[in-house]
A and B are shown apart, each in its own frame.
Chain A
Amino acid sequence: MAKTKLIDFDRALELFEPVIGLEVHVELNTRTKMFSTAPNVFGSEPNTNLAPVCLGLPGALPVLNHEAVRYSISLGLALGCEIAEVSGFARKNYFYPDMGKNYQISQYDDPIAHDGSVEIELASGRIVHVPIERAHMEEDAGKLNHVGGSTGRIQGAEYSLVDYNRAGVPLVEIVTRPIFGGEADTPEIAAAYVSTIRDLVVSLGISDARMERGNIRCDANVSLRPRGNEGAGMSVLGTRTETKNVNSLRSIERAVRFEIQRQAQILDAGGSITQETRHWHEDTGETSPGRRKSDADDYRYFPEPDLAPLTPERELVEELRAQLPEHPTLRRRRLRSEWQFSALEFQDLVNAGLLSTIEQTVAVGVPPQTARKWWTGEIARIANERSIPSADLITPEQVASVVELVDAGTLNDKLARQVISGIIDGEGTASEIVEARGLAIVSDDGALIEAVDAALAQQPDVLAKIRDGKVQAAGAIIGAVMKAMRGSADAARVRELVLERAAGTE
């Protein structure tokens, strides 16, 4: 792919005001699917999480999952939305082999939630209120595997294989209104918004929120308008493109930035933007054109005759409102001040999705900085190495048990890392691993003195230097002792003993 010509980002902003709109799909973690009693489980054998509805089998009928309704209302409330008095389902008709019925049950005229606002905070401390147009319930599609051709991509594939396990998984689609005034922060706003949505659904417990599994997916609409229209609201909007399925926070930021630069380049050269969907390519850091918006988008929506409308009872809405957890932005502000991390340290945790993990670790008695050190250090390293989320490797309680052993002087940091890796490999509890691997610090002075004396005897020149008052020379002896003890010694105690023995063996 030829490298797309891009205008400089700052120059783009001088010429144009970027306007974005975001559509975020959240997969709910109910036990069953939205309209079918099949299990909602990730990672099963293909076509094993199916009931007749998922395959659109003749005679099958959808029945709405009550829990999905509760989750959707909770999410709507957390987005600051009104919950509809009457909300209905509609069929969105289009043919695609990943849909069992060749229509998607969605909501059209009357979504479950509408007119909300989400507060987000940028790294600079800037607060942005993102206006929410609506949040509606719908069902996910199955998955296509393209076989043959080059890289498993759709182009050039010989044939495709369809797995309907994901078909019917409950989704809430959250649609923002156009976001104005983002200016140079626009790409960061897009990522921070999705990050906030992720925190929201995690705090509500309604989604696994694993972006790498597609639990949260983002479509980014980007348009530019010439300078001089600021404050014109919706009355002047440029032609937009919709970049589909951008599925990591970093990619969202990059994709929006790319589109701003690409569109500015075209407009500045006197060209015009084509209204189309675009695809994000992680490898090249570019978007490429997809399907043009056209007559083919005639989805022929009509009220779903197989499902009754919803009239959410006000008592239920109030009950769910009362159960809402703290808003993520407020929570972040609170945690940052409680933990006293630097802005950078805190942002790293947010980006790594570790806030809740740290919070849980602190709750079981680990000092915030210590918790941060372990989760962003050794545990993150192993997680990265194995491509498994940190939180799936080890629990906050297990981390606390290791920290306790360090505090008690049983372990130093180096040994603690070995214990952590032992816990992750399922070797048992921290103390079992210490025992089994013989990892505890040797605090028996007898053994240490023996080693110190041996080292001093082997390096008489160093001993002489120490005696001459060159205390820093002790380092060589300490190193030799630590090596001899295979790390299981307290370096401070060794140092004391070296100085003591050097002085005393004249």
Chain B
Amino acid sequence: MSELVQMTAADLAARIASGEVSSEEATRAHLDRITEVDDALNAFLATDGESSLAAARGIDARRAAGESLGELAGVPLAIKDVLVTTDMPSTSGSKILEGYRSPFDATAVARARAAGLVSIGKTNMDEFAMGSSTENSAYGPTRNPWKLDGVPGGSGGGSAVAVSAFEAPLALGSDTGGSIRQPAALTGTVGVKPTYGGVSRYGAIALASSLDQIGPCARTVLDTALLHDVIAGHDRHDSTSLDFAWPSMAQAAREGADPASLKGLRIGVVKQLMIDGVQSGVQTRFEEALALLSAQGAEIVEIDAPHFEYAVAAYYLILPAEASSNLAKYDSVRFGLRVTPQGGGTVESVMSETRAVGFGAEVKRRIILGTYALSAGYYDAYYGSAQQVRTLIQRDFAAAFEQVDVIASPTAPTTAWALGAHDGDPMRDYLNDATTIPANLAGIPGISLPIGTASEDGLPVGLQLMAPAFEDARLYRAGSAIEQLIADRDNAPFWAQAPELDAAFLATARAGKAAN
């Protein structure tokens, strides 16, 4: 493995800026890494080496010409396939969009390109971001580098694995109910769901418009912050985009790097987020982390949020309802798959056949559920009540944030599970999202960062922090301090503890993949 792929984005960027390494070299090293490991991991749905290298050479040329470039200029970036891009197909993990080419770049992608980042490929995901394991991708599951027969979490398993397995230093994700944070936890990486509206949703293939948020993924808190700074900000293409003068997240991360900054920080632990069935190793690591924080002078406060127990129920009404409408556009008329029933048919039957063939089981399940939740006679009891629960959850958060600065919880109740282990019980996965969902319902920011491995299986455990809306910087400041505490404890940054993907490991994964 080239040392260029084992650097943090901040270090790589500094070397590129100093001229020690070219963007082309950095990009080629990551493309080589993808070639080496990705047929086993399946984190990427599309790469285009030539166009990535051409972009990298473009950055090198601009730098050589003396142009002043952004801090991350020349650094490769993996892009979740939920974001449309002009240089590669955009499928959102669905067969119905196979080969779709967008005439425009998503705003987050456009900003990344403008900042000089080099698009290195599109990453795998659960179809239309519906799932927590990336097994719902129409293009096969992504494997967790920490557990060859294990899931990487989802829906953004591809982006999380890309950074975890050194295929890219940075990646973009989307988080509707935990799709950035939960895969970060399961792959030992860092992921942030910004305040709703902090990053433009323009060009993000919509799942649930009032919950979706685009965010950064990386191996360190600082790298995540650097990418956050690039993609955040108001966008005239998105009516829900916030016109707000965001502070620098990178500066917050740098300021927080000294654990002494934790002194006096009030950290809330919500009773209702310590859900039943939390794996013991996860629970242990979480408590250890609280103890470390306490030792630095942070104050741990128990919080009651009585309506959080209704969050999953509200979420699984709001999301399917909005999704059923957002996914109606996949009808075989303007783009995407078209399947004509045997013997032809009316446009109506062509639409129905196309959607029957083009959508996977989970997508169909949620569309039917959402159609039901919105239908006449049920709206008030289901969708209407769910929107009211949303208000109650926001009120719970508001009350909590009067007492504490951030709220902490395990990001996910378990570590990575085996591929196929959750098959056949959709409710089981739904309940697993209980810790991450409240932040989406309330629109507040959340981060997940690794705090160690679970003793029983040696797999990564993530800590989630949440802050009030607009206080994303608080997460980076505290997250950076905690990251430092963990590195000090382990004598190494967590990401450096990721398993070597040696030839034998990869061969086993490939064999497993072939058997899928």
Contacts and interface: CB of A to CB of B under 8 A. Distances in A.
A162 interface: yes
B239 A63 contact: yes
Contacts of A61: 201-202, 237-239
Interface string B199-241: 0011111101110000000000000000000000000111110
A58 B239 contact: no
Given A162-B333, A308-B239, A302 B325 contact: yes
A62 B239 contact: yes
A255 B231 CA distance: 57
Contacts of A95: 328, 331, 348, 351
Given A101-B328, A103-B325, A302-B383, A57 B202 contact: no
Contacts of B328: 93, 95, 101-103
B347 interface: yes
B348 A300 contact: no
Interface in B243-287: none
A59 B202 contact: yes
B240 A306 contact: yes
Contacts of B102: 57-59
Interface stretch (B55-63, B177-185, B371-379): B371-379
A160 interface: yes
A59 B347 contact: no
Contacts of B371: 300
B117 interface: no
B303 interface: no
A305 interface: yes
B92 interface: yes
B236 A57 contact: no
A298 B375 contact: yes
B236 A97 contact: no
Interface in A139-170: 160, 162, 164
A302 B324 CA distance: 11
Contacts of B97: 58
Given A52-B104, A160-B347, A306-B239, A100 B334 contact: yes
Contact of B331 (A97, A305, A306): A97
A100 B329 contact: yes
B90 interface: yes
B334 A102 contact: no
A160 B83 CA distance: 32
Interface string B326-367: 001101011100000000000110010000000000000000
A305 B205 contact: no
Interface in B291-337: 321-322, 324-325, 328-329, 331, 333-335
Interface in A42-91: 52, 55-64, 91
A227 B210 CA distance: 52
B331 A102 contact: yes
A93 B325 contact: yes
Contact of A58 (B84, B321, B324): B84
A354 interface: no
A58 B329 contact: yes
Contacts of B236: 63
Contact of A306 (B103, B104, B209): B209
Interface of B is mostly: loop
Interface of A is mostly: loop
Interface residues of B, number: 43
B86 to A, nearest CB: 11
A485 interface: no
Nearest to A304: B209
B170 interface: no
A156 B90 CA distance: 37
Contacts of A160: 347
Contacts of B325: 91, 93, 103, 300, 302
A406 interface: no
A305 B209 contact: yes
Given A57-B102, A58-B90, A300 B375 contact: yes
Contacts of B205: 58-59
Nearest to B97: A58
A57 B202 CA distance: 11
B239 A52 contact: no
B106 interface: yes
B103 A59 contact: no
A505 B237 CA distance: 90
B155 to A, nearest CB: 16
B430 interface: no
Contacts of B401: none
A137 to B, nearest CB: 14
Contacts of B321: 302
A484 B205 CA distance: 79
A164 B333 CA distance: 11
Contacts of B375: 298, 300
A59 B374 contact: no
B505 interface: no
Contacts of B100: 58
Given A59-B202, A300-B371, A305 B210 contact: yes
A382 interface: no
Contacts of B83: 59
A198 B418 CA distance: 67
A300 B206 CA distance: 18
A58 B104 contact: no
A62 B236 CA distance: 10
A405 interface: no
A54 to B, nearest CB: 10
Nearest to B208: A305
A334 to B, nearest CB: 43
Interface string A96-109: 01001111000000
A301 B210 CA distance: 15
Contacts of B201: 61
Contacts of B238: 61, 63
A307 interface: yes
Contacts of A307: 239
Contacts of A52: 103-104
A53 to B, nearest CB: 9
A146 to B, nearest CB: 11
A302 B206 contact: no
B117 to A, nearest CB: 19
Closest 3 pairs between A and B when the two form their complex, measured CB to CB: A102-B328, A300-B374, A305-B209
Given A95-B331, A97-B331, 4 more contacts: A59-B202, A102-B329, A102-B331, A160-B347
8 contacts: A57-B84, A58-B206, A61-B202, A63-B239, A300-B379, A302-B325, A302-B374, A307-B239
